[in-house]
Every structure is written in C-alpha cells, then in structure tokens.
Amino acid sequence: MVGPESAQAGRKQSAVVPSAHLAPALDAIGAGGYVVDEQGCILAANSRAAQLLGRTADELVGRDAHDLLHRGPQGQQLPATQCGMRQAFLAGCPAQGGDEYFEHADGSLLPVSWTLTPYDIGDGGTGTLVVFYSSRPAADAGPPREQSAGTLSDFERLALLAETTTQLTSTFDIEEALRRLVGLVLPRLADWAVIDLITERDEVWRTVVAQADGDTVIRHEDFEGPMPPVPEESLMPLSKALRGVSSALADPDTYQGTPDSGITAEQRRLFDSAGIHSAAMVPLRSTRDVLGALTLGRTGKPDSFTVSDLPLLEDIARRAGLALDNARLYQRQRKVAETMQNHLLPQMPRVPGLQMAVRYLPAPDASQVGGDWYDAFTLPDGATALAVGDVVGHDLEAAAGMAQLRNMLRAYAWAQQGPPSRIVDRLDEAIMPITDVTMATLVLARVARTDEGHWQLSWTNAGHPPPLLITRDGLAEYLTGGHGLLLGTGVRTSRPDATVLLPPGSTLVLYTDGLVEKPGHTLDEGLNQLRRHAAALAHRPLPSFTDQLLRRVQPPGLDDVALLALRTPARERGGTAASRGE
C-alpha cells in the first residue's frame, strides 16, 4: 500500500492509536477495510481485513501498510516508486485498481482489487480509507456473495461501499447525509429512492422521495410528509422494514389486494404514480434502534431486484443508519447545549442615555459550546456593570460553570461597594473552593455618569482580550489598562483598575476570544482585523454595527463567541445628574 520508506518497514509505531470512532464505520464494510494516517501507518482495520490477511487487527494497527502488505506477483517486496496505490495516496485523490497482491500472514499471496479515498479521521486530521476485495479469499473469510444478473460487479460493489462510508460518515448534518445517500443510490442502483424516518415520538415521516432523471435528482415533495402508523402485525414489506424485522422485495402485485393499513395504502399510491415495477425495502438501523427504512424502486431499469441484491443494499443502509444516528446524537447534544446557554444568558437592562446590543454565536461543533458569556446589570448606586467572560472548557460543564461564575459575580458586585478590581479579587478567592470552574478570563466594567454629565468607564481585566473603544469618527483603540491574571490560578496579587471617559457617540466592544483567534493566524492579526472593521462601521446604528462586525470578521467557528456592544449618546448634556432629575 502506502507508507514511509523501507527503513521504517515493520516497525511498530506506538504513537499511532486507532481512533475510536473509526471502528463502527469500518465494521459496517462488507469487504476488507483499513484507514491509514498521513504517513501510511494503519490506524484501524475491520474484522474482514483481519480475516482476509490472516492477522488480528492489533497486528495490523501501527504498521506501515505498504511495507507490511503490498507485494509483486512473485511475492517480492514492491518498491514504493512502483506502487500505484502509493502514488494515488500521495496525490490525495480517490483511486482504484486490480490485479495486485497483498501478503497473507502465512506468506502466501492474496490477489486483490482495491479502492482508496481520502477520509476524515476526526480532530481535523485527514487519512486515507483503503477497501479491498480478494477474488480468492482466505479459507475463514466466509463464502463469496452471490451475484445476480443485472447487478453491480464485485469491484463496483466495493467502490460503492467505500464511497458510501466516506461520504456518510463525514457529515453531522441530517439533511446533508440524506442528500448524499440519495446521490449514492440514484441512478446507480435505482430510479427512485424513498427514505422514511421514525421520529423521536415513534411517528413515521416520509422525509425524501427522489427520482433520477439522467444525472439530475428530482424531489417529489407531494409524496413527502407524515405517514400513518406502522401496524405491529403487518407482513407488508415496508411495515416489516420499519419494524426492523427484515428486508424485502416488492412489485405491483404486492399491492393488488386491499391495503392492510394506511401506510400500505401510501406505498401503493407511490408505486402507482411512479410506475415502479420492482422495489427493495431495507431497514435503517442504528446500534440501538430502527431509525427508518430505505425504499429503492425501478421504473426505467429493466432488471428487477433479486434476493442477491439485498446484502449490498443492507450494507449501504447500515452505513446510512450509523451516520444518521451520529447526526441525531450530535444535533441533540447541540440543542441541549444551545438551549442551556441561551437560558443562562441574560436580558440587557434599559439604561437611559445608553444603547446596548449583545450577540452570541454557538460553535458549529456541539462539543465546543458552553463557556462564553456576557452580562449587564444595574448596581445599587445607579451605575451599570458590564461583564464578558470565558470559562476554560468547551462542553456542558463549562456552561454550568459559567452560570455559577456569573451568578457569583452579580452577588459580589451588588454587595461589594468599590472598584471592579475589588469585586474580581473576591470572586477569584471563592472560585476554587465553591465552584466547578478551574480557570476563567473576565472583563468587569462599571459605566456611570460623572457630575459633569460625561460617561465614565472603569474596568479590570482578568486575562481576557482587551475591550475595544471606537469613536464616532472611526478612531479605534484597545483599552489595555487594568490587566491582571486570569481567575483560578491560586496566585494572590493586587489587581489594577483603569478608567477612561467615553467620548460622545463612541462604541465600546467587549468580546470573547472566539472572535479574534483563528488557526494559522496570530492573535495580533485577529485583533487588528477586528479593530479595522469596527472603525469602518462606527457610523452604523448599534444593531447593524454588531451584525456587520460579526459578518465581516467571520469568526472561524472553532469556539463560541459572546459580544457586548455599548454606545454613548452623540451629545452630552451639561449639569449634574441630580440637577437633571435623573
């Protein structure tokens, strides 16, 4: 296969650890399959590959695939420069081939056909999926599959399964997974594809009805929507598939009699309208439950589905079921995290003379949602407290820690009369003994009117990105004063405060690091980009300012983002607050 030069041949690389999420996808492949990293070392292999090669998965993992397996027709070591698989691997593009040889554990040669494709191995890494089929399998590999007339060849099956695995396991979006599934089976296997999914309330929803028109896929939304319940005792093909009983074939004669249920009537309506002469229905299963059913129908294709086609369709459905289950779990986790986060984030107070706008962007990855927050509330002396912070961690625990920290900050700010530094000092003393928060960053600010009618900002910064102040004329500067240690270090030092008068019509921006930190860029580059865009938008109304700022900066989405913007009035009125009756 592929890999480093022969100096590394046979060397076990202890740093290579199989990714846990690879195993379910590989085990669903009906042929031999393994995944290699960017150096060509095997990360994971399925049981079929182990059987065909006469080795255990543990004996394969960590080895250089090319040096361990690939041989010439006489059993000789194949130079890397003569390896077609290696060239395709280095090019990073899908490829396939045949009439090549892998070495069995007993030293014999195994003739193989293969296909490889780039594969997302998680955590931002990219590997390569290799799927191979042998025309002369090992004795314990099980009997070869029966092949029916008009179906795909064994090699075409192999390529389809590899493509299915790659496409369906590389997205956590349900709609995108369904779109890819339809594209895989139409028009290659059928003229029509129907996907019925079971909702969390055990109701059936006809989610996709699609028809192949040449290379174009047409959605028939008039057939989509809610379906009648699945009868427990029905022997009709779709009902059995939706209960997970078995796969089945159907033709127009299947639906000639009186329908035994509403769902059978709907299936007959589809057959009659589409002119389907042959169909196959297979369950979509997760590791825990039945998720739905896939129906493939033929109208223009003359061949009918046969029993020998069902193993391939079940293999495809098995991969689809795993992908849909993972997508559902991901979206459920994301919804819980976002709901929790949104309930924890507060409403902004109304402060005469000041405008405030807040935005929260959850990270696309559900596991990254949780620790960023903003807050604003009125203090006993009439001043307004502003806070933006980030709890270390990116999960529901971080969201819970954020809630603890925010509530404690409110309590201390209300009870402690004094500058922001005194409140944050008190918070830092309490964070370790009475919260689950390990570390956090925070800016706490206080905005109040002076006797001369100006707006004054006082703040302290506990290891957080600096606030940004933009005048109405577009001059922007970072407020770097008041900077101290982040919370939770256990180090007790005197925290500084800083104070500045906010010019009329100026905009203050407090934000979390997800707005300015981007892979491949320095923090200074992110801060400069934020400053330039904020300065250019200084004339916009505050809601437009915040929306356009997020759109132009384009946070990379690796972390959630909390943003709080405050704007002072364009004109300041003279006199004291008391003389104006405020």
CATH assignment of the domain containing 434: 3.60.40.10
Tell me which of 112, 144, 176 is where a domain ends.
144
**Whether 423 and 330 share a structural domain:** no
CA 3/CA 17 separation, integer angstroms: 16
Report d(CA 406, CA 409) in Å as an integer.
5
- CA–CA dist 510, 23 (Å, integer): 44
Using DSSP bridges, classify how beta strands 125-134 and 32-36 pair: parallel, antiparallel or unpaired.
antiparallel
254: left (phi over 0), alpha (psi -120 to 50) or beta: alpha
Task: Report the C-alpha gap between 196 and 324 in whole angstroms.
Answer: 12
Buried b / exposed e across 567-582, counting CB within 10 Å, b at 16+? bbbeebeeeebeeeee
Let me know whether 322 and 356 are in one domain: no
Q: Which domain CATH number covers 238?
A: 3.30.450.40
- Do 140 and 195 lie in one domain? The reply is no
pTM for the model: 0.51
Which backbone phi and psi does 299 adopt, to 5 degrees? -125, -55
For the four alpha carbons of 233, 237, 241 and 246, in that order, the dihedral sign comes to positive
Residue 580 lies in a domain: no
In a domain, 196, yes or no: yes
- Tell whether 315 is covered by a domain: yes
How many domains are contained in the chain?
Answer: 3
**Residue stretches of the chain with pLDDT short of 70:** 1-25, 28-30, 122-124, 135-155, 333-345, 363-370, 393-399, 556-558, 572-582
Residue 574 maps to a domain: no
Tokens of 368: 């990254």
Domain end, chosen from 335, 357, 376, is at 335
Q: Is residue 149 part of a domain?
A: no
**Domain identity same for 516 and 488:** yes
pLDDT at 131: 85
Structure tokens at 58: 């543990």
Q: What is the pLDDT of residue 93?
A: 74
Q: How far is CA 507 from CA 306, 469, 476, 537, in A?
A: 70, 6, 9, 10
Nearest Cα neighbor of 548 from 534, 565, 567 is 534
Residue 40 lies in a domain: yes
153 occurs within a structural domain: no
Same domain, 88 and 182: no
Whether residues 527 and 497 share a domain: the answer is: yes
Q: Are residues 319 and 430 in the same domain?
A: no
- Residue 407 has phi, psi (to 5 degrees) of -65, -40
352 burial type by CB count under 10 A (0-12 exposed, 13-18 middle, 19+ buried): exposed
Secondary structure of 532-562 in the HEC alphabet?
HHHHHCCCCCHHHHHHHHHHHHCCCCCCCEE
At residue 147, the pLDDT reads 38
Q: Backbone dihedral region of 542: left (phi > 0), alpha (psi from -120 to 50 degrees) or beta?
A: alpha
Instruction: Find the distance separating the first CA and the last CA of the chain, reported in whole Å.
Output: 79
Same domain? For 85 and 186 the reply is no
Contact 408, 381 (CB under 8 A): no
Last residue of a domain, one of 335, 364, 388: 335
In a domain, 33, yes or no: yes
Tell me the per-residue pLDDT of 82-94, one tens digit each, with 9 for 90 and over.
Answer: 787 887 788 777 7
Q: Do residue 204 and residue 328 come from a single domain?
A: yes
Domain hosting 284: range is 168-335
Coil, helix or strand at residue 51: helix
CATH code (residue 23): 3.30.450.20
SS3 199: coil
Q: Residue 175: which H helix or E strand, with range?
A: helix 174-185
Residue 297 and residue 194 share a domain: yes
Residue 440 CB contacts under 8 Å (≥ 6 apart), including other chains: 371, 389, 390, 391, 392, 401, 405, 431, 462, 486, 487, 488
pLDDT score, position 198: 94
d(CA 37, CA 43): 6
* pLDDT of 95: 76
pLDDT in tens, 235-284: 999 999 999 999 999 999 999 889 999 999 999 999 999 999 999 999 99
Do residues 537 and 513 both lie within one domain? yes
pLDDT at 331: 75
Angle between helices 310-344 and 396-415 (to 10 degrees): 0
Judged on CB neighbours under 10 Å (0-12, 13-18, 19+), 101 is buried
Q: Find how far residue 141's CA is from the centre of its chain.
A: 36
Considering the domain architecture, whether residues 318 and 369 belong to the same structural domain is answered as: no
